[in-house]
């Protein structure tokens, strides 16, 4: 009896596992694209409630995210840092976030509330530390706020992305030092570890294909996904209802929000741009008054009519947000399927090799 080389058996086993993994992943990607392939594209201006496929350009909503690894304004990102130290591999960061945005297709604009959505975003940053452990150029970790309300300038975002940073994370001599740059909390180079950085994201200006349900805003099940506070929903809470009843009985319930909240009821007060003069302590610094029309503009953003159609996840249908046009998304699905079929072939060949090796061992 002759023993098959252990290396051949191990390689065949790895081939089977790897091939099956590629097959499963390819089939899953192809099935995920069925909604894109099986639904025709609608225009926003003629949109009706129900399942739809929209193709358009992302525009920022009231706020945008700041990505974790490159500090780029975006509406979705998934950032990961994997650290290899010898034979040990550790994921030190796995952060995925999304925020509501607008979709424009040339005929109109639609609000998208993506909580619980399935995302297909391109990899925008895929680098690792060098042999000395220094971080790669282009890494600009965000150590400040994860969101921004500043208007997004796409050209400025691209310029910031292309700015060369020193390997230690500090800005160059002619580079502005701000809250998001110039800090390397990881300290000096760690010669005992290699870090791999990966960030996928979607940003204003990107073309996306969205498949899901167009529903009236008032039908969204979870108000936490919306930009509007509906007092009627709060009254459904037994504790809130009991507190209101006790306040009415004691005669301490204010007649209006203005009486109850004071300056906080003035639109824009919380961001330092009230629409009318607040009542302040005489020694307090006066606040600049927002320009005429600011209150109406804010209301147009945050006060969404209940009947306005929006895209959101529903109990019976997911929401898919995929990078690129439908044709590009389908091409990626077909590519993943091709790789999966190649994995199946690899698994078959590896199984034959393993069978022959074991036959030589026990035959």
| CB contact at 8 A, 312 and 220 | yes
**What confidence score (pLDDT) does residue 70 get?**
95
Confidence (pTM): 0.64
Burial (CB count within 10 angstroms: exposed 0-12, middle 13-18, buried 19+), residue 193: middle
| CB contact at 8 A, 324 and 3 | no
Q: What share of the chain is helix, strand, coil (3-state, %, to 5)?
A: 35, 25, 40
Give the chain's radius of gyration (CA, Å). 27
- Triad 43, 200, 168: Cα angle to 5°: 145
Query: Smallest Cα–Cα separation from 227: which of 145, 312, 294?
Result: 312
**What confidence score (pLDDT) does residue 264 get?**
81
Query: Smallest Cα–Cα separation from 124: which of 66, 181, 78?
Result: 78
| CB contact at 8 A, 175 and 201 | no
**What confidence score (pLDDT) does residue 158 get?**
57
Residue 256, CB-side half-sphere exposure with 13 Å CA sphere: 6
**What confidence score (pLDDT) does residue 311 get?**
92
**What confidence score (pLDDT) does residue 244 get?**
75
Compute the distance between CA of residue 279 and CA of residue 258 in angstroms, rounded to an integer. 12
Joined tokens for residue 12: 């065949």
**What confidence score (pLDDT) does residue 301 get?**
63
pLDDT tens across the length of the chain (363 residues): 445 567 777 777 787 788 777 777 666 666 666 666 667 788 999 898 889 999 999 998 888 999 999 999 999 999 999 998 888 889 999 999 999 999 999 899 999 998 889 899 999 999 999 877 788 999 999 988 787 765 545 555 555 556 554 444 444 444 443 333 333 444 444 556 789 999 999 999 999 999 989 999 888 775 444 433 344 545 556 777 787 788 878 877 777 767 777 888 787 776 677 888 888 888 888 888 878 776 676 666 667 888 889 999 888 888 999 999 888 887 776 666 677 777 778 778 877 877 777 776 645
Please report, for residues 63, 213, 313, 322, the alpha-carbon distance to residue 47 in angstroms, rounded to integers and kept in the order given.
25, 11, 17, 19
Count of positions (residues) in the chain: 363
**What confidence score (pLDDT) does residue 281 get?**
82
């Amino acid at each position: 009896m002759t023993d098959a080389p252990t290396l051949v058996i191990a390689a065949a086993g790895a081939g089977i596992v790897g091939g099956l993994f590629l097959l499963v992943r390819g089939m899953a990607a192809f099935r995920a694209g069925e909604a894109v392939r099986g639904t025709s594209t609608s225009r926003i201006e003629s949109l009706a409630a129900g399942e739809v496929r929209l193709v358009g350009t992302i525009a920022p909503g009231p706020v945008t995210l700041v990505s974790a690894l490159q500090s780029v304004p975006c509406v979705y990102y998934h950032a990961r840092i994997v650290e290899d130290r010898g034979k040990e591999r550790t994921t030190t960061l796995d952060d995925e976030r999304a925020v509501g945005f607008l979709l424009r297709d040339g005929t109109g604009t639609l609000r998208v509330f993506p909580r619980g959505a399935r995302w297909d975003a391109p990899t925008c940053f895929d680098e690792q530390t060098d042999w000395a452990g220094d971080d790669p150029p282009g890494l600009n970790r965000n150590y400040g706020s994860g969101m921004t309300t500043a208007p997004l300038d796409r050209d400025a975002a691209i310029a910031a992305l292309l700015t060369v940073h020193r390997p230690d994370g500090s800005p160059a001599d002619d580079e502005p030092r701000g809250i998001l740059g110039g800090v390397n909390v990881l300290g000096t180079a760690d010669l005992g570890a290699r870090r791999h950085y990966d960030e996928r994201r979607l940003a204003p200006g990107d073309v996306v294909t969205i498949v899901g349900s167009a529903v009236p805003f008032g039908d969204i099940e979870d108000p936490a996904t919306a930009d509007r506070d509906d007092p009627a929903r709060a009254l459904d809470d037994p504790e809130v209802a009991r507190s209101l009843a006790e306040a009415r009985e004691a005669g301490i319930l204010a007649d209006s929000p203005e009486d109850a909240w004071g300056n906080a009821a003035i639109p824009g007060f919380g961001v330092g741009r009230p629409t009318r003069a607040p009542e302040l302590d005489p020694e307090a610094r006066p606040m600049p008054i927002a320009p005429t029309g600011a209150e109406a503009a804010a209301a147009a953003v945050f006060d969404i009519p209940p009947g306005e159609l929006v895209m959101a996840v529903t109990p019976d249908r997911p929401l898919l947000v995929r990078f690129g046009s439908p044709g590009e998304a389908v091409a990626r699905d077909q590519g993943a399927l091709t790789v999966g079929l190649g994995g199946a072939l690899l698994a078959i060949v590896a199984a034959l090799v393993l069978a022959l090796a074991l036959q030589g061992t026990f035959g």
